[in-house]
């Protein structure tokens, strides 16, 4: 009896279509085309025709087609209802974060670590400087034809700030936080950081990098606070009313991580009541896209506190063309690995999310390294039973 091809659902056509983008380098375009062709040959590949299907549409497609593996990105919430469908064995997301994917025990989840760090660090520096130097405000001033003959240039006009003599605070020294340090530290500014784990090696490399055991100390000290923590149950609303009040007057809060790390209701309320006066540079928001109502709240705040600067970008920190192409490549590679797999050894190259990263290890090592709540034996994963069924056919 001939083995039935596994069913793979690409929730968006973008994972293939990005190969057509002129800004993507040719080697990456060729790689995407090759991987997509291979996936088409070895699986029953279903590609959603629209880029942003609803959560319900995704779940319906999975159920109707008995999908085995899903490829998605941040705009595609993979709900509990979807992953409860027994046919699902693995999910690949072309993002570093994976809070949009429900973590069902026994379902593999892969992501794209170590790809976005440089791009997002670059972007973080860009929006910090755009805010401190008032780049957007000055552009708009000129663009609106407000630069008049009596405003040619003067020493005390349009004054702003550089990073010199300021302290940068970094909350979360993961891949992106570390890359931010590597790029900023050579400038000689003081950098204060908080993380659940101290990085003494990086401190030895950069003498101006200092660790603080308490996140509140970083918030009190820093002139610029940049958030680089993942979104999970511990970090949801991490920057709330109490912590926002700790920040310096006219400090800058930067977020290129995930929007819900900041309690937006607290932020808006404190700014409107003038209990805090902080500048903002955001690429991510509690709800995306940013609603007209929330945007109007910030416009009203700027009337109340006209000296504040807000730089709001529509979630584009990783928008370098080749970076996005590499994200698609990793997604396709991981889907191919799962489709082709026959045993746990075949999964060694997967970019599994942190809680699953010991899965490819021998079972004896699993028992030693994995916390109790994550300690699933391989035969508790759906893909294991799929392997056995293939052998029986």
Question: What phi, psi does 385 have (nearest 5°)?
Answer: -70, -30
Residue 343 above 50 pLDDT? yes
Would you state the pLDDT for residue 359?
65
Rounded to whole angstroms, the Cα distance separating 233 from 259 reads 14
Q: What is the pLDDT of residues 79-110, one digit of tens each?
A: 999 999 999 999 999 999 999 999 999 999 99
Residue 180 above 70 pLDDT? yes
The sign of the torsion formed by the CA atoms of 274, 278, 281, 284 equals negative
Burial class (CB in 10 A: 0-12, 13-18, 19+), 146: exposed
Q: What is the pLDDT of residues 8-18, one digit of tens each?
A: 999 999 999 99
Would you state the pLDDT for residue 151?
82
As a whole number of Å, the end-to-end CA separation of the chain is 6
| Inter-residue contact 242 to 224 (CB < 8 Å) | no
User: How many other β-carbons are positioned within 10 Å of the β-carbon of residue 152?
Assistant: 8
Residue 371 above 80 pLDDT? no
Place of tokens 């599994």: 352
Domains of the chain plus CATH, in order, are: 7-115+320-392 (3.40.50.720), 118-312 (3.40.50.720)
Rounded to whole angstroms, the Cα distance separating 71 from 79 reads 14
Model confidence band, residue 393 (pLDDT cutoffs 50, 70, 90): low
Rounded to whole angstroms, the Cα distance separating 177 from 95 reads 17
Would you state the pLDDT for residue 23?
97
Mean pLDDT of 254-265: 97
Higher pLDDT, 379 or 376: 379
Residue 363 above 80 pLDDT? no
| Averaged confidence pLDDT in the chain | 93
Rounded to whole angstroms, the Cα distance separating 106 from 90 reads 9
Taking the CA of residue 239 as centre, how many other CA atoms within 13 Å lie in the half-sphere pointing to its CB? Answer: 29
Q: Determine which helix (DSSP H) or strand (DSSP E) holds 40, and give its type and residue range.
A: helix 26-42
Higher pLDDT, 38 or 380: 38
- Closest by Cα among 256, 252, 203 to 229: 256
Give the list of residues 6+ apart from residue 229 with CB closer than 8 angstroms, or none: 171, 172, 174, 235, 238, 257, 261
Model confidence band, residue 373 (pLDDT cutoffs 50, 70, 90): very low
Is 35 in a helix, a strand, or coil?
helix
Q: Determine which helix (DSSP H) or strand (DSSP E) holds 10, and give its type and residue range.
A: strand 7-10
Work out the percent of the chain whose per-residue pLDDT is above 90. Answer: 87
Residue 387 above 80 pLDDT? yes
Rounded to whole angstroms, the Cα distance separating 140 from 280 reads 18
Residue 370 above 50 pLDDT? no
Residue 355 above 90 pLDDT? no
Q: What is the pLDDT of residues 31-62, one digit of tens each?
A: 999 999 999 999 999 999 999 999 999 999 99
Model confidence band, residue 1 (pLDDT cutoffs 50, 70, 90): very low
167-205 exposure pattern, b = at least 16 Cβ within 10 A, e = fewer: bbbbbbbbbbbbbbbeebbeeebbbbbbbeeebeebbee
Sheet containing 279-282: give its strands across: 209-211, 190-194, 167-171, 224-227, 252-255, 279-282, 310-312
Pairing verdict, β 190-194 and 209-211: parallel
Q: What is the pLDDT of residues 216-250, one digit of tens each?
A: 999 999 999 999 999 999 999 999 999 999 999 99
User: How many other β-carbons are positioned within 10 Å of the β-carbon of residue 262?
Assistant: 25
Model confidence band, residue 29 (pLDDT cutoffs 50, 70, 90): very high
């Amino acid at each position: 009896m001939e083995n039935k091809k596994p069913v793979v659902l690409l929730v968006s056509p973008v994972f293939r279509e990005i190969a057509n983008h002129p800004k993507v380098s040719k080697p990456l375009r060729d790689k995407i085309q090759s991987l997509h062709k291979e996936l088409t040959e070895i699986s029953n590949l279903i590609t959603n025709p629209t880029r942003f299907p609803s959560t319900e549409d995704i779940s319906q497609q999975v159920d109707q087609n008995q999908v085995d593996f899903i490829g998605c990105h941040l705009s595609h919430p993979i709900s509990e209802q979807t992953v409860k469908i027994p046919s699902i064995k693995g999910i690949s997301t072309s993002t570093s974060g994976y809070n949009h994917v429900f973590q069902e025990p026994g379902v593999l989840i892969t992501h794209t670590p170590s790809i976005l760090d440089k791009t997002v660090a670059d972007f973080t520096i860009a929006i910090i400087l755009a805010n401190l130097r008032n780049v957007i405000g000055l552009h708009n001033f000129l663009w609106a034809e407000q630069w008049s003959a009596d405003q040619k240039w003067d020493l005390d006009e349009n004054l702003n700030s550089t990073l010199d003599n300021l302290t940068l605070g970094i909350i979360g020294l993961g891949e992106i936080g570390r890359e931010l340090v590597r790029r900023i530290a050579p400038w000689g500014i003081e950098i204060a950081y908080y993380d659940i784990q101290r990085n003494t090696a990086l401190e030895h490399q950069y003498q101006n990098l200092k660790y603080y055991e308490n996140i509140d100390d970083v918030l009190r000290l820093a002139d610029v606070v940049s958030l680089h923590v993942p979104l999970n149950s511990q970090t949801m609303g991490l920057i709330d009313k109490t912590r926002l009040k700790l920040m310096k007057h006219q400090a800058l809060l930067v977020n290129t991580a995930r929007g819900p790390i900041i309690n937006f209701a607290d932020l808006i309320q404190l700014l409107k009541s003038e209990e805090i006066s902080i500048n903002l540079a955001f690429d991510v928001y509690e709800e995306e896209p940013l609603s007209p109502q929330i945007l109007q709240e910030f416009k009203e705040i700027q009337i109340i506190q006209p000296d504040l600067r807000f730089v709001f970008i529509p979630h584009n920190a990783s928008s370098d063309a080749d970076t996005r192409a590499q994200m698609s490549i990793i997604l396709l590679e991981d889907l191919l690995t799962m489709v082709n797999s026959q045993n746990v050894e075949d999964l060694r190259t997967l970019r599994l999310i942190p809680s699953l990263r010991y899965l490819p290890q021998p079972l004896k090592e699993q028992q030693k390294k994995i916390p109790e709540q994550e300690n699933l034996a391989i035969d508790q994963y759906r893909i294991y039973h799929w392997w056995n069924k293939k052998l029986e056919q």
